[in-house]
Chain A
Amino acid sequence: MALAKRIIPCLDVDKGRVVKGVNFVGIRDAGDPVEVAKRYNEQGADEITFLDITATHEGRETTAHIVEQIATEVFIPLTVGGGIREIKDIRAMLNAGADKVGINSAAIHRPDFVKEAADRFGSQCIVIAIDAKRVADEADGRPRWEIFTHGGRKPTGINAVEWAIKMVNNGAGEVLLTSMDGDGTKAGYDLALTRAISDAVPVPVIASGGVGNLDHMVEGIIEGRADAVLAASIFHFGEYTVPEAKAYMAARGIEVRL
């Protein structure tokens, strides 16, 4: 009897298609985000996150249309990230049925954007998305992580923990934290990074990047002190289902919604 830790499947959407997903048993069109979202909803996912990796304006309109279709059939929280640069982008996604939007590089270009967005729409729907990489330790030996953009290729020199604090002070209601070191490796979340940020901010933190098995999810919650764990490929490729992940976590004493 307590707040459940959340399991959040993430769909990377490009030009209206899920790009990491293949091989769903019983679904003819594995790349249709509406079908994939419905399936995760039926499995008991606690939320669904869409990352729009389409570069073009037309592509983003496609994503808004997809969100609109999903929101008429799936009644759990939906978060949309990727390409959110202006207030009108946020409004378009919320009007389409998204509950939260993730802001990433636009906040780095203009930190006040998060403040303006939170003032306009409320902190509850503004997620600061942080892509961080471990860099050389601080002079006193403490680990240091910095924000990277362009898929982890471009350093910004910004301290990730300080950035999280600043963005929450600007009104972000949640942190979506992706370890660029871990992303795609299946070696597990960066637990030290996750814990450093979770301890530093009062708002919920979603761990992302690197999950390869169910123990990683358990570690993300217990050692990383994350409030939610996000995963893409381990669900897309059918290695695990959401109910399997929840049962595994529940057996290790983690409060989940079964």
Chain B
Amino acid sequence: MSKSSVAVIDYGMGNLHSVASALEKVGDGVKVMVTDCPETILSADRVIFPGVGAIRDCMAELKSRGLDEVIQEVAAQKPLLGICLGMQALLENSEENGGVECLDVLPGAVKFFGSDLRDSTGGRLKVPHMGWNNVVQAIEHPLWAGIPDASRFYFVHSYYVDAPEFVAGSCDYGVQVHAALACENVFAVQFHPEKSGDMGLRLLSNFLNWDRPAAFFPVTD
């Protein structure tokens, strides 16, 4: 890998220590910049947009720092990985906090799991969806390289992504959770790769090695 740079967007939503540590672990000398500076973000070779917490606060923090437009600009230019709340913020809107308009980088909505979520046998499912669940890959993609289909990743969320297209992976939790989306140079995941052990580290490593937008290849049987 070339000694490229990756910006981790720091907008006050959650602890970014783990994301930065994981990138340093797999980065082989990559320059990891945890920053809210628009110029730094725009100058990086690739960008990670993480986040935990509530979407209203997330959007407010982004706007107050002028980062909403920065992220939209990044999404049009260079590899961008959205993680958890960062993924949700890339969609059109979210039901959380009474309804919040998001960045509209990817089509789709963020919905609440509901208060009476059931599995296929009628068993009650807890919310938040917390723990390790299988992600079934819907497409071939450079970010899935070396990651077996249906590998488990660590999730923690109460709202889930429902997208009409660009689904790269999904998981079952009472509803079909669109756990990964891929569109040109944007990849977004609901799970936490920085907390998903070896498979998560592999996905981050793949992101750091991902130079060109992938073509969109649906898996066919």
Residues in chain A within 8 A of chain B (CB atoms): 1-6, 41, 46, 68, 71-73, 75-77, 94-99, 121-125, 173-174, 202-205, 227-228, 257
Contacts and interface: CB of A to CB of B under 8 A. Distances in A.
B76 interface: no
Interface string B99-131: 000000000000000010001000001111111
Nearest to A99: B195
Interface residues of B, number: 39
A173 B131 CA distance: 12
A97 B130 contact: no
Contacts of A204: 126, 128, 130-131
Contacts of B136: 1
A75 B132 contact: no
Contact of A46 (B15, B119, B132): B132
Nearest to A124: B156
26 contacts: A2-B172, A2-B173, A3-B131, A3-B155, A3-B173, A4-B131, A41-B197, A71-B17, A71-B21, A75-B21, A75-B194, A94-B14, A95-B17, A96-B17, A97-B21, A99-B18, A122-B54, A123-B128, A123-B158, A124-B53, A174-B130, A202-B115, A203-B130, A204-B128, A257-B132, A257-B152
Contact of B200 (A6, A75, A94, A205): A75
Contacts of B201: 75
Nearest to A225: B124
B139 interface: no
B32 to A, nearest CB: 12
Contact of A202 (B18, B52, B126): B126
Nearest to B117: A202
A227 B133 CA distance: 13
B154 A1 contact: no
B60 interface: no
B5 interface: no
Given A124-B157, A202-B115, A75 B130 contact: no
Contact of A97 (B17, B24, B129, B158): B17
B22 interface: yes
A75 B195 contact: yes
A228 B131 contact: yes
Contacts of B157: 124
